[in-house]
Structure 1
Amino acid sequence: MQTIHVNGVDLGVRTDGNPAHPAVLLLHGAGHSSAAWDERFCARLAAGGRFVIRLDSRDAGVSTTYPPGKPDYALRDLVSDAAATLDALGVRSAHVLAMSQGAATAQLLAIDHPDRVASLALHASTPGGPGHDNPDLPGPTEEISALFTAEPVEPDWSDRTQVIDYLVAAERPFAAASRPFDETATRALATRLYEHARDIAAQITNPFLIDAGEPWRDRLSTIHIPTVVFHGGDDPFFPPAHGEALSYEISGARFITLPGTGHELFPEHTWDTVLAGLADLHNLRAEDA
């Protein structure tokens, strides 16, 4: 783990593998941090001949935080931070693997900094980013919509047990309905997020308040790099049609449905499928993944 100073902020960065190998930049979703990526998944990526870079975005992990409810940055700043992180690490171009808000950042990174992105792997995403109106695509389930109109009472952010319980409860509605909720894995995730956070209240609050800027769905056709779109077959936030539309907008993109998966970061049962898809995308042998 190291801290880099770019664009006037401090960002936490974790790296695994040989820096001489092709770089893969991992961008997490809103409310998460670099700790969301399972160590075993990252180890398999690195063992497959990749230099794995996990970035804490602003307000996440050990990066610069802002008062809860008052994030002083926008989505485009996260895009600039991603490019600046590659500069700081001496990486000219990286494969990018990203989820949800991270995938929105990755889309813009490929559009605005095409020379920095070797390939795109987008998960649990939508064309043009969250917060933009796509009337041709289905909305979230009623349960998810209700969460945004009647949000649960916040915990005492200084109470470790309360916060971890809160994080587990927050993940539950986004999990796949077609398989039992994995309480053990989710609690382990929540614990990692809590223990890695400089300010867990800011991490859980601020990323959902930032300005996404102007829609960019009509610019996705300018992306001409190898792309794969992963999407949970049970995603209640962005139903699968969002991933299908995203893959359609990017020329040549491959769409891979992940059965038994909701709006969640690659449950373990998906790893073989995801790693094989990445190996193909990165022109590496699947057996090396």
Structure 2
Amino acid sequence: MVTETMMPVNGIQVCVETFGEPADPPLLLLSGDGGSMDWWDDEFCRRLAAGGRLVVRYDHRDTGRSTCFPIGSPAYSGEDLMNDALGVLDVLGLPSAHLVGFSLGGGIAQRIAADHPGRVLSLTLISTSARSGDPDPALPPPPAPVSVATRPLPEIDWTDRKAAVARLITEIRDRGGPFTAAEPHLRRLAERIFDRSADLAAGRRNHRLAGYGPPVRDRLGTIVAPTVILHGTLDQRFPAEHPRELADAIPKSRLVWLEGVGHELPPRAVWDRVLDEILHNA
């Protein structure tokens, strides 16, 4: 059973979708920076639900169908993004959940696990860093020529569907690896993201302006939830130092490398392993 609805959360409207049976243990998916819930593939969510989980995904504020704020003037902070995740659980009547976070979503998940340990059943961190909330969350990579994954791209009009879809496809390819989906799949995803977004430009800028909230790195040692860290070997946004630091900081955590994967939601080629890791950890 799949349901999508608008819910009042922390004074805004948040679009939430669930997969699976309400009686199953809940699993909350947290998207990345500027990312709506569309980035979590429908079939991926259904397979998690088939593993006996009530899967919950939602649009961050300033993404998808959730409330948007004026571009360049977000009336919220990184802590508010964390509180939105907790608010979604509250509205659904869920005292705790298994958390699965990608990139920024992984930073939100770390903060919840450190600040609200009773609400976290398990923690799966995908392509993220221990440095959420630091002045610069990225460790400097070794000196190297600028890669396609970090190359500057010209500004575009995000209200132009054709231009926006083309840019999203380019960004996904640049951050990905040999297992990244082919163009037809990426185009369908990009078109869906555009068509569901009230203001595609808002989250892309406002999330970064809002920041990540206070640093959480020094409190990662207090996390008690079972934790698995999934990280692509080709991730150029957060090179290998980042997942290793996470694994060293979070007690009893496991680091699992995804060969040939970049800074991207797990591509279909590694789904079997990723799903096994999430469900085993949860």
TM range (shorter): over 0.9
- Structure 1 equivalent of residue 216 of structure 2: 216
Give the Cα–Cα distance (whole angstroms) in 1 for the partners of residues 134 and 143 of structure 2: 12
**Distance across 1 between alignment mates of 2:130 and 2:279:** 24
Shift of 1:130: 6.2
Alignment partners' CA distance in 1, 2:172 and 2:72:
20
The match for 2:154 is 152
Amino acid paired to 2:212: A
One-letter amino acid of the counterpart of residue 43, structure 1 = R
Q: Equivalent residue for 1:143?
A: 147
Cα gap change, 1:252 to 1:137, in 2 (>3 Å): farther
Q: Which of 107, 110, 117 pairs up with 2:120?
A: 117
Residue segments in structure 1 that go unaligned for 5+ positions in a row: 283-289
Aligned match of 1:193: 193
Q: Aligned equivalents of 1:208 and 1:175: distance in 2?
A: 21
Alignment partner of 2:18: what SS? strand
Residue of structure 2 equivalent to 1:260: 260
- The equivalent residue for 2:95 is 92
Partners of 1:205 and 1:185 in 2: CA distance: 26
Are the structure 2 counterparts of residues 199 and 281 from structure 1 closer, same or farther at C-alpha, using a change threshold of 3 Å? same
- Percent pairwise identity: 40
C-alpha distance in 2 between matches for 1:54 and 1:180: 22
Shift of 1:146: 4.9
Amino acid at match of 2:201: A
Cα deviation for residue 26 of structure 1 reads 0.3
2: distance between equivalents of 1:140 and 1:16? 44
> Are the aligned partners of 1:111 and 1:223 in contact in 2 as well (CA < 8 Å)?
yes
Shift of 1:259: 0.9
CA contact (8 A) 2:28 2:99 kept: yes
Match of 2:278 in 1: 278
- Number of positions where the alignment pairs a residue of Structure 1 with one of Structure 2: 278
2:71 corresponds in structure 1 to 68
Moved more, 122-131 or 248-257: 122-131
- Name the counterpart of 1:175: 176
Displacement of 1:204 in angstroms is 2.6
SS in 2 for 1:138: coil
Which of 48, 52, 55 is equivalent to 1:52? 55
- Structure 2 counterpart of 1:194, which letter? F
Please tell me whether the aligned partners of residues 62 and 202 of structure 2 are also in contact (alpha carbons under 8 angstroms). Answer: yes
Q: Which residue of 1 aligns with 2:32?
A: 29
Separation of aligned partners in 2, 1:180 and 1:269: 8
2:85 to 71, 82, 87: 82
Query: What is the aligned partner in structure 2 of residue 227 from structure 1?
Result: 227
CA distance in 1, matches of 2:244, 2:133: 15
Aligned residues of 2:176 and 2:261 also touching (Cα < 8 A): yes
TM-score (norm 2): 0.92
Change in Cα spacing, 1:250 to 1:166, as seen in structure 2 (3 Å) is same
Deviation at 1:136, TM superposition (A): 6.7
For the 8 Å contact 2:179–2:269, the answer to whether it is kept is no
Query: What residue in structure 2 maps to residue 287 of structure 1?
Result: none
1:126–1:238 CA contact under 8 A, matched in 2:
yes
Identify if the C-alpha distance between structure 1 residues 145 and 270 changes in structure 2 by more than 3 Å, giving closer, same or farther. closer
1:53-87 per-position Cα deviation (integer Å, ceiling 9, x unaligned): 00111101111101122222111001111111111
Tell which deviates more after alignment, 128-137 or 214-223.
Answer: 128-137
| Alpha-carbon contact 2:48-2:279 (below 8 Å) kept | no
Instruction: Give the 3-state SS of the residue equivalent to 2:64 in structure 1.
Output: coil
| Residues 137 and 242, structure 1, Cα contact 8 Å, conserved in 2 | no
| Cα distance in 2 for residues equivalent to 1:237 and 1:87 | 32
Q: Does the 8 Å CA contact 1:61/1:203 hold for their aligned counterparts? A: no
Report the CA distance shift for 1:133/1:139 in structure 2 as closer, same or farther (over 3 A): farther
Q: Look up the SS of the partner of 2:210 in the other structure.
A: coil
- RMSD of the alignment, in Å? 2.0
Mapped to 1, the partners of 2:226 and 2:180 lie a distance apart of: 34
Letter aligned with residue 42 of structure 2:
E
Does the 8 Å contact 2:180/2:267 carry over to 1?
A: no
Secondary structure of the 1:13 match is strand
